[in-house]
Amino acid sequence: MKNIAVMTTSQTEWVVLEGMLACSVGSGSARVFSTPMLCALMENAAMGCLCEYLEEGETTVGTYIAIEHMSATPVGMKVRAQATVTEVNGREISFEVTAYDECGQIGKASHKRFVVFSEKFQAKTDSKLENKG
């Protein structure tokens, strides 16, 4: 892992599709952009901050998110999230993330990701299948 610069930013933009609605993902019955998809949008923006800093064989995993979903967004509208690196503590990276639709702010979050070695992480995870009780 290369040295990650605090204040690095990245942005992700999506169009809200039927499969992203609360009624489609099982997080409610409303036809609005779901909180789980808002979380994914925010994590995607945070991942974008780290692309240039990862070495071959490294990836990041989300370890924490505290999210506030402040406004509903209908199908067909654009949503975007902007993430900013706020702290680097070894392999743990902290972010502040803000999300918007075409009418204004819809959410904010504090988020943490951890840099891991892809193969080692996957092997450790898959070993749970052998050890399940």
Q: CB under 8 Å to 49, separation ≥6 — which residues?
A: 4, 8, 9, 10, 83, 84, 85, 93, 95
Nearest to 99 by CA among 125, 118, 77, 114: 77
Please indicate, yes or no, whether the overall pTM of this predicted structure exceeds 0.85. Answer: yes
At residue 133 the predicted structure's pLDDT band, cuts being 50, 70 and 90, is low
Range 9-123: architecture per CATH: Roll (3.10)
Reported as a single tens digit per residue, the pLDDT across 46-92 is 999 999 999 999 999 999 999 999 999 999 999 999 999 999 999 99
Strand 58-69 versus strand 9-15 pairing type: unpaired
